[in-house]
Amino acid sequence: MSTESSYLKRTTHCGILRPEHIGQEVTLNGWVHRRRDHGGLIFLDLRDRSGLVQVVFDPEIGNEAWQTAHDVRAEFVMAVRGQVRQRPEGTENPGLATGEVEVAVTQADVLNPAQTPPIAIADTGEVDDMVRMKYRYLDLRTERMQRNLQLRHRAAHAVRNFLTEEGFWEVETPSLFRPTPEGARDYLVPSRVSPGNFYALPQSPQIMKQLLMVSGVERYFQLARCFRDEDLRADRQPEHTQIDMELSFVDREDIYDLTERLFVHLFDASIGHELPVPFPRMTHAEAMARYGTDKPDLRFGMELIDLSEIAAQVDFKVFSGTVAQGGQVKGICAKGCGDYPRAQLDVLTEFAQQHKAQGLAWMRVVEDGVDSPIAKFFTAEQITSIVAAFGAEPGDLLLMVADQPAIVAESLDWLRREMARRENLIPEGTFAPLWVSDFPLFTWDADARRWDAEHHPFCMPHPDDRELLQTDPGQVRALAYDVVINGVEMGSGSIRIHRRDIQQQVFDIMGIDAQQAEEKFGFLLKAFEYGTPPHGGIAPGFDRLVMLLAGEDNIREVIAFPKTQKAQCLMSGAPSTVAPEALRDLHIRLNLPPQD
């Protein structure tokens, strides 16, 4: 093993060698990717961050180096020195950037041996996710993860460059703050010097960025770390990064324009893709009516069709009875799927039921009407009206759900996406951005019997709905907006409340009286009394954007050290227990639930 003073330090990187380097002496440092022993010659693929190159050990060129190569295995860390030469004719590797050249090694040094890794770095086959998470430092060596980390870096660089050119200042906000209602549980941090008191890790820098607008910063951004103690899924992690932006003296159109230009720059700088602008727009109400979700995927059609008016008149009680009780009947038309056998239709019915629907009605469209077990409950005229409503043709399949509006929307949203997956309707490498606006300001919590904020309590009510705050809060729209791409919410924002009287009015509707508001948000309300400008912002999810750019389905694949679905780090063992004396210093006593 070499000492630091004697090892061969690199003069160039493995992945950059090309025919123009032939004849040059180079020193490479890296990992052994593959090893091949051809009797007299030993071939290694040596890998570093830039790529890999073939290095050749020939006893006639460097006998000591050749002896060293006998003992190396995959993932040994090595240093080699040698001359770049043309590969012999017929041995070139067109699938490799360095495939026209190789390095004839004269000196070699093993800088660190390696045990056989539990993840085969050179193998592109599937590896159990739990193994990948436990040995994340090895998983990150793979070509896929190296590519994703590099893409993330390029994306972050593009964001910072763009926003700096747009006049933004990057300002850091505290990671230790006080709990605020953001929609998820806070991660709490006990204070040793203030026994019984806790900080909260920020779910977002919402209040702090508003205070920066009060402070006259005018244009702020931050690649902000955010922490939310919530159930995890493919596009959620307990800690994530968002491109946090806030601007003074703006309206929604200014935010739309800025965000679109940022995304265009980001997609071009990161993957060379030209994103179409302007982004289409629709209201929250329109999105829910047409797609059953506030984040629709516009890469394919299959919109929801409302059949409630027709359904109210039919003899099929599942339909007419649901409408009579205030429900809906809606459906989708799966083009060309009329040949689905009964077994597949049963699978789709079970799928819809898994997503809260009580059942799934179906009709195959044929030349003289429909083929369906429920066709007998409909007149010929009613069937004609249903087929016309869908714009269906012979060979199409109609799928319908009758239930309360929320269940109809959720089940058909899932079914629509499932049918697109089954029928390969989503073209690869395409991006369909969308603005969704005019979200409800409040949502009713039936269990607590109170109004909660749909987004957060700092969204400005729509000026056309201000009078409804006193009479019908459920009808008040917020000056809020989401940017959606390919059915994934990429960012959420709003024009903010900047006046104390309006903010207290919103708090009152949520059951936060003046005294409670003073206790929780007194510093913010006080700031509003000192000349707060109109302001607004948006916070695109950086991890989700990089996931989209990388073509991945889970944000875990673009985060260096993510958590599992149970918010655990298998590599380090976090979260973990702490020493009793640490709890004693914090004046904390555990009262754990009994183990199963």
Confirm whether 527 is domain-assigned: yes
CA 258 – CA 292 distance, rounded (Å) = 28
Q: Are residues 197 and 95 in the same domain?
A: no
CATH number of residue 21's parent domain? 2.40.50.140
> Hunting for tokens 């909660």 — which residue is that?
452
Q: Are residues 258 and 320 in the same domain?
A: no
Listed residue (472, 471, 435, 478) closest to 453, CA to CA: 478
Beta-sheet strand order (sheet of 488-495): 169-170, 219-227, 239-248, 535-540, 488-495, 480-485, 433-437, 281-283
CA 413 – CA 330 distance, rounded (Å) = 11
CA 320 – CA 346 distance, rounded (Å) = 23
Q: Are residues 439 and 535 in the same domain?
A: yes
In the chain, the amino acid numbered 364 is R
The SS3 of residue 581 is helix
Instruction: Decide if 23 contacts 84 (C-beta within 8 A).
Output: yes
Q: Are residues 422 and 519 in the same domain?
A: no
pLDDT over threshold 90, residue 78: yes
Digit-coded pLDDT (tens) for 398-454? 999 999 999 999 999 999 999 999 999 999 889 999 999 999 999 998 888 899 998
Confirm whether 482 is domain-assigned: yes
Q: Are residues 268 and 151 in the same domain?
A: yes
Confirm whether 9 is domain-assigned: no
Confirm whether 590 is domain-assigned: no
8-state DSSP, 75:
T
Instruction: Decide if 54 contacts 87 (C-beta within 8 A).
Output: yes
Listed residue (71, 52, 166) closest to 112, CA to CA: 71
Count of the separate structural domains present in the chain:
3
Digit-coded pLDDT (tens) for 450-478? 999 988 899 999 999 999 999 999 999 99
CATH number of residue 401's parent domain? 3.30.1360.30
Q: Are residues 406 and 441 in the same domain?
A: no
If one counts every other C-beta atom within 10 angstroms of the C-beta of residue 486, the result is 17
> Hunting for tokens 């193994």 — which residue is that?
131
Identify any residues that bridge with 83 across adjacent strands, giving them in sequence order. Answer: 25, 104
- The end-to-end CA distance of the chain, in Å, is 51
Confirm whether 123 is domain-assigned: no
Q: Are residues 264 and 312 in the same domain?
A: no
Q: Are residues 185 and 105 in the same domain?
A: no
- pLDDT at res. 2: 46
Residues 6+ apart with CB under 8 A from 483: 259, 263, 279, 433, 434, 435, 489, 490, 491, 492, 538, 540
Q: Predicted confidence band at 253 (pLDDT cuts at 50, 70, 90)?
A: very high
Confirm whether 203 is domain-assigned: yes
pLDDT over threshold 70, residue 181: no
Kindly report the average pLDDT of the chain as a whole number: 94
pLDDT over threshold 70, residue 497: yes
Q: Are residues 468 and 524 in the same domain?
A: yes
8-state DSSP, 190:
E
Digit-coded pLDDT (tens) for 20-67? 999 999 999 999 999 999 888 999 999 999 999 999 999 999 999 999
Digit-coded pLDDT (tens) for 360-404? 999 999 999 999 999 999 999 999 999 999 999 999 999 999 999
Instruction: Decide if 319 contacts 336 (C-beta within 8 A).
Output: no
> HEC string of 482-541?
EEEECCEEEEEEEEECCCHHHHHHHHHHCCCCHHHHHHHHHHHHHHHHHCCCCEEEEEEE
Listed residue (484, 490, 359) closest to 415, CA to CA: 359
Q: Are residues 451 and 538 in the same domain?
A: yes
CA 207 – CA 451 distance, rounded (Å) = 21
Domain that holds residue 550: 147-273+434-558
183 in the Ramachandran plot: left (φ > 0), alpha (ψ -120 to 50) or beta? left
> What tokens does 284 get?
């929250």
Confirm whether 571 is domain-assigned: no
Q: Is the peptide bond before 427 cis (omega within 30 degrees of 0)?
A: no
Q: Are residues 312 and 375 in the same domain?
A: yes
pTM of the predicted structure, to 2 decimals: 0.92
What are the φ and ψ backbone dihedral angles of 56, each rounded to 5 degrees? -115, 130
- pLDDT at res. 595: 80
What are the φ and ψ backbone dihedral angles of 220, each rounded to 5 degrees? -120, 145
The SS3 of residue 595 is coil
> What tokens does 8 get?
């061969």
CATH number of residue 251's parent domain? 3.30.930.10
Confirm whether 414 is domain-assigned: yes
